[in-house]
């Protein structure tokens, strides 16, 4: 297992996710005498990690869930970049972790391997509790003049100090020369091979005794979808299309989970205390607790922790995580989303209440710039589906995407169903497509819209036709996916030389790359307001009249 750390506190949180994955998979696949999933997750952290708020989110949940196979080492060297930490970090860390319900080993000499080994043994004995081994260390130990100071945090020692350090620690070797006896001491090839062979043998025996569990375990650890997946998804999409339901896209999302999770046991969901609003539970959801495994994590109000834990679950393997909050609070989670994209991992971030359309909660809860800025994260696919069919397709494609995360954005309010034939349904896979062509096939303008604004775009198309103006409506649920299509396809949808109007209840600026300077955007340029959703859409110009007026203004 490997994760990309760097942003302090997230590596520790990934480790909580990895330990949680072990607990979930062990509960599902282990059988008496066959502990095929049985490993510790070790994490190394510093003062910086513990100062970061995310360490509270993750470690508090790890304590509540009793992740006994998580063993952490706190490098308590009293130094961070600005110097001695006592002026800005004076927590009693052992007491903090005891309060979380962890097993704490205080005051270990971090330079004494024997002391550390016995602390690890004690940690292993404390089953049912994660362990924090607090290691007192000296940063830059061995440097006679700089040890114990922040000068050794990141900067090189320099030639003079290197020269002074050599006799100080009795090191007589040339730079980059590592004596063979040290290599030998650290070489774990033989030990690792033996352990791996033992485990493989155990897995072989497990396979003989529990063939179907073994096949499932191997499939899941390989990250492969079930053999009948595509067939199942196609049927589900057809069923959803036939139902023609006019429902909120968050409800369509829940229906998609219900329809997909039954054939995808690796789907492990959750929400940051908004399950009833995000609609993330399905009929087969089983909450994970201290005592049991399951497939649903009640993350509590911990958006950042949830997202970085999801990264750990995904990196562990055997699990496809999804986790939800309001789109507004994707801000709290953002750096974990970025790390998922950077690490190219499959992860599904579900954000509901996607615009001013959520109404009276007011501008603190009304996302304006979030959809656009999430789209700016490289390798992130952001979906904002317009109805039940696009919502189901978005879920399926996000699950199938192996080389990066997806954000799924859904409305609180009801959205009209859009009629499509099978060929048009296939085009949703392209991220942007012609949902409704101009009646005469010769559009004078193109309206591009997403999500809740598709219904408006369709109504505006009708109103414009009544005044003799023919427009095409392009639905663009996933702009990055559309951008990955070839030029010929993109040009066939956005027709060179035909002016465009984008309509999205989000920050207007994003859309200029599609409409250009000669086009126009009906979007948000301010924060929202506190009022019923219908009043707000009117107030901010998301009306048929305004879209018609805007189209007329550019052609
Ligand atoms: C989220 C985040 N903020 C800031 C930094 C920049 N940074 C890197 S290391 C560090 C200090 C960390 O101190 P500590 O954990 O005590 O590490 P030590 O100095 O002991 O190596 C900071 C602020 C970062 N990597 N991540």
Mean pLDDT, rounded, for 334-356: 98
- Please say if the pLDDT value at position 220 is more than 90: yes
Mean pLDDT, rounded, for 528-546: 96
- Please say if the pLDDT value at position 425 is more than 90: yes
Mean pLDDT, rounded, for 167-190: 94
Contacts 24+ apart (CB under 8 A), 236-245: 236/260, 236/392, 236/396, 237/389, 237/392, 237/393, 237/396, 237/425, 238/422, 240/388, 240/389, 240/392, 241/388, 241/389, 241/420, 241/425, 243/388, 244/417, 244/419, 245/388, 245/417
Mean pLDDT, rounded, for 234-244: 98
Query: Which pair of structure tokens corresponds to residue 521?
Result: 């955007």
Going from the Cα of 81 to the center of ligand 1, the distance in angstroms, rounded, reads: 7
Give the number of other Cβ atoms within 10 Å of residue 191's Cβ.
9
Total residue count of the chain as it appears in this document: 555
Question: Does residue 303 carry a catalytic annotation?
Answer: yes
- Of the residues 303, 390, 453, 504, only one is catalytic, namely 303
CA angle at 506 for the pair 500 and 512, rounded to the nearest 5°: 35
Q: How confident is the model at residue 108 (pLDDT cuts 50, 70, 90)?
A: very high
pLDDT digits (tens, 9 = 90+) for 509-525: 999 999 999 999 999 99
Query: In 30-112, which residue ranges form alpha helices assigned H by DSSP?
Result: 47-51, 53-64, 93-99
> Which string of DSSP letters, residue by residue, matches 146-162?
TTTSGGGSSS---HHHH
- Interacting residues of 143 by C-beta distance below 8 A, sequence separation 6+: 152, 157, 161, 164, 165, 168
Mean pLDDT, rounded, for 97-113: 98
Mean pLDDT, rounded, for 40-57: 98
pLDDT for residue 360: 78
Q: Which of 318, 331, 148 is nearest to 220 (CA)?
A: 318
Q: Report the percentage of the chain scoring pLDDT > 70.
A: 100
Question: Of 143-147, 272-276, 350-354, 356-360, which gets the smallest average pLDDT?
Answer: 356-360
Phi, psi of 417, rounded to the nearest 5 degrees: -70, 140
Going from the Cα of 303 to the center of ligand 1, the distance in angstroms, rounded, reads: 22
Going from the Cα of 80 to the center of ligand 1, the distance in angstroms, rounded, reads: 6
Distance CA 311, CA 179 (A): 38
Say if ligand 1 is within 6 A of residue 308 CB. Answer: no
pLDDT digits (tens, 9 = 90+) for 444-484: 999 999 999 999 999 999 999 999 999 999 999 999 999 99
Say if ligand 1 is within 6 A of residue 81 CB. Answer: yes
Mean pLDDT, rounded, for 363-367: 96
Residue nearest to atom 21 of ligand 1 (CA): 153
Going from the Cα of 12 to the center of ligand 1, the distance in angstroms, rounded, reads: 13
Q: How confident is the model at residue 341 (pLDDT cuts 50, 70, 90)?
A: very high
> Which string of DSSP letters, residue by residue, matches 217-236?
HHHHHTTPPPTTHHHHHHHH
pLDDT for residue 178: 94
- Please say if the pLDDT value at position 2 is more than 90: no
Give the mutation target among 50, 80, 143 for probing the ligand 1 site: most ligand atoms within 8 A of CB: 80
pLDDT digits (tens, 9 = 90+) for 250-279: 999 999 999 999 999 999 999 999 999 999
pLDDT digits (tens, 9 = 90+) for 291-316: 999 999 999 999 999 999 999 999 99
- Please say if the pLDDT value at position 6 is more than 90: yes
What stretch of H or E contains 243? helix 229-243
Mean pLDDT, rounded, for 130-145: 97
Mean pLDDT, rounded, for 489-509: 97
Say if ligand 1 is within 6 A of residue 381 CB. Answer: no
Q: Closest ligand 1 atom to the C-alpha of 50? A: 15
- Please say if the pLDDT value at position 359 is more than 80: no
Q: Closest ligand 1 atom to the C-alpha of 48? A: 15
Distance CA 88, CA 412 (A): 42
Average pLDDT, the chain: 97
Residue nearest to atom 22 of ligand 1 (CA): 81
- Please say if the pLDDT value at position 95 is more than 90: yes
pLDDT digits (tens, 9 = 90+) for 367-419: 999 999 999 999 999 999 999 999 999 999 999 999 999 999 999 999 999 99
Going from the Cα of 128 to the center of ligand 1, the distance in angstroms, rounded, reads: 30
Phi, psi of 71, rounded to the nearest 5 degrees: -125, 120
* 3-class secondary structure, 20: helix
pLDDT for residue 361: 85
Mean pLDDT, rounded, for 117-139: 97
pLDDT for residue 1: 75
Say if ligand 1 is within 6 A of residue 80 CB. Answer: yes
């Amino acid at each position: 297992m490997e994760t990309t750390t760097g942003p302090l506190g997230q590596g520790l949180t990934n480790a909580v996710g990895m330990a949680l994955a072990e607990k979930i998979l062990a509960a599902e696949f282990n059988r008496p005498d066959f502990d095929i999933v049985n490993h510790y997750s070790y994490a190394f952290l510093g003062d910086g990690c513990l100062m970061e708020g995310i360490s509270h989110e993750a470690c508090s949940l790890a304590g509540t869930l009793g992740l006994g196979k998580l063993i952490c080492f706190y490098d308590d060297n009293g130094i961070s970049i600005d110097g001695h930490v006592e002026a800005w970090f004076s927590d009693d860390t052992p007491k903090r972790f005891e309060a979380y319900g962890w097993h704490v080993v205080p005051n270990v000499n971090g330079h004494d391997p024997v002391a550390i080994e016995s602390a690890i043994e004690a940690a292993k004995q404390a089953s049912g509790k994660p362990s924090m081994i607090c290691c007192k260390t000296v940063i830059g130990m061995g440097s006679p003049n700089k040890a114990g100071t922040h000068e050794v945090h990141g900067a090189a020692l320099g030639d003079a100090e290197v020269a002074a350090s050599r006799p100080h620690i009795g090191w007589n070797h040339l730079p980059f020369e590592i004596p063979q006896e040290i290599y030998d001491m650290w070489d774990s090839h033989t030990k690792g091979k033996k352990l791996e062979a033992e485990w493989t043998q155990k897995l072989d025996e497990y396979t003989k005794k529990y063939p179907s569990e073994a096949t499932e375990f191997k499939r899941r650890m390989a990250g492969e979808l079930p053999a009948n997946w595509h067939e199942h998804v196609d049927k589900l999409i057809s069923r959803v299309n036939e139902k023609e339901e006019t429902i909120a896209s968050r409800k369509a999302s829940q229906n998609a989970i219900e329809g997909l999770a039954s054939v995808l046991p690796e789907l492990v969901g959750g929400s940051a205390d908004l399950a009833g609003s995000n609609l993330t539970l399905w009929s087969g959801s089983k909450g994970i607790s201290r005592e049991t495994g399951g497939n649903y994590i009640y993350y509590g109000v911990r958006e950042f922790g949830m997202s970085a834990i999801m990264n750990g679950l995904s990196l562990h393997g055997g699990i496809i995580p999804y986790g939800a909050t309001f789109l507004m609070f994707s801000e709290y989670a953002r750096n974990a989303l970025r790390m998922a994209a950077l690490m190219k991992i499959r992860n599904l971030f579900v954000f509901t209440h996607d615009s001013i359309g959520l109404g009276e909660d007011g501008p603190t809860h009304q996302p304006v710039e979030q959809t656009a800025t999430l789209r700016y994260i490289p390798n992130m696919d952001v979906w904002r589906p317009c109805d039940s069919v696009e919502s189901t397709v978005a879920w399926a494609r996000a699950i199938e995407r192996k080389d990066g995360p997806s954000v799924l954005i859904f409305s609180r309010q009801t959205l009209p169903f859009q009629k499509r034939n099978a060929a048009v349904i296939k085009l949703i896979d392209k991220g942007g497509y012609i949902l409704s062509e101009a009646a005469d096939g010769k559009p004078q303008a193109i309206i591009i819209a997403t999500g809740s604004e598709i219904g408006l775009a369709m109504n505006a198309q009708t109103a414009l036709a009544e005044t003799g103006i023919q427009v095409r409506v392009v639905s663009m649920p996933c702009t990055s996916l559309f951008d990955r299509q070839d030029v010929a396809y993109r040009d066939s949808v956005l027709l060179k030389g035909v002016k465009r109007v984008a309509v999205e209840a989000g920050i207007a600026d994003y859309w200029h790359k599609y409409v250009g300077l000669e086009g126009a955007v009906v979007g948000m340029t301010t924060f929202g307001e506190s009022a019923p959703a219908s009043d707000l859409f009117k107030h901010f110009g998301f009306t048929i009249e305004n879209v018609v007026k805007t189209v007329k203004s550019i052609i």
